[in-house]
Structure 1
């Protein structure tokens, strides 16, 4: 018997208090943080540890969750994936993804996305996944195109970081597109 949360390279799992050090180190990479959301002032190790303990104690939600992407062999955290913007009326959701710089280009991101989409489409009855990617984040743009996501729109100059304005590119994938490619 195999878990739907396990792929060939990664296992998606809940956050554990011990994960704090890895994610605290990821937060030190300002360029990578900017690619995913927004840069914030440094957080103390004590606050990062407390936040990890609080996150580990939260009861998981069936539709909205934040999971660790762990390397299958070692079990070490390599990134995180979350779901948000849940719209049950229309059957849509969005997700966010980050993989620490030392772990990129190993197939972890694409496999984590497939695992989450498979769960959301076939267990939770959603019909469409969306992802917003900053226009300057070339690796993420390439990932979503390679995975078969359709570019659906662009919000021009909607995100400010590193002294400049950046576009947000909306990607979408329907359950039919996913099934044709991954099921």
Structure 2
């Protein structure tokens, strides 16, 4: 990978645009039942759907409103993705993330999401970043809290997905909170 391909880099990770050759690995980790469990898609995630996704997101501009998906790479291997939905006011964003099962528990999600937060809040000057997760997804909620997000709401039986009503947890992080957390570390 060339330096020009990396949009963001962290200690052990590169966050870059998706490339066509990522489709197979993307489909593989999104097909893992444990990865898909609290997500909106059903496994298996087809190669055709992955190819379409990679084609669509590969040309998007992360500075423009809407969703942008960072490919998360460790040691030359695609291990997950971080999605950012930039609001039209360009001062707020929503964030989501997925890490392949084989790479969970190594701090990669914390490192990737932390680097994206640093970019959004410090480098781009956003005011607030929000996230939401299924209330049963304790690992995701703990990750957000570890990064300094505050629980802002619990929506009871809010989302109909995979044949059941699920509760959603809403999290928020203000720029001033991120700067304080950053300086305390």
Bucket of the pairwise TM-score, normalised by the shorter protein: 0.7 to 0.9
Q: Which residue of 2 aligns with 1:11?
A: 14
Q: Does 1:132 align with 2:132?
A: yes
Q: How many residues align?
A: 177
Shift of 1:43: 5.1
Shift of 1:160: 3.0
The CA distance in 2 between the partners of 1:31 and 1:41, in whole Å, is 10
Shift of 1:134: 0.7
TM-aligned CA distance change 1:94 to 1:50, over 3 Å: closer
> Which runs of 5 or more structure 1 residues have no equivalent in the other structure?
none
Q: Which residue of 2 aligns with 1:26?
A: 29
- The RMSD of aligned alpha carbons is 2.3
Contact 1:20 1:49 in 2 (8 A): yes
Q: Does 1:68 align with 2:71?
A: yes
> Which runs of 5 or more structure 2 residues have no equivalent in the other structure?
none
The CA distance in 1 between the partners of 2:46 and 2:147, in whole Å, is 37
Q: Which residue of 2 aligns with 1:123?
A: 123
Q: Which residue of 1 aligns with 2:171?
A: 171
Which of 1 and 2 has higher RCO (CA within 8 Å, sep 6+)?
Answer: 1
Scaled by the length of structure 1, the TM-score of the pair is 0.85
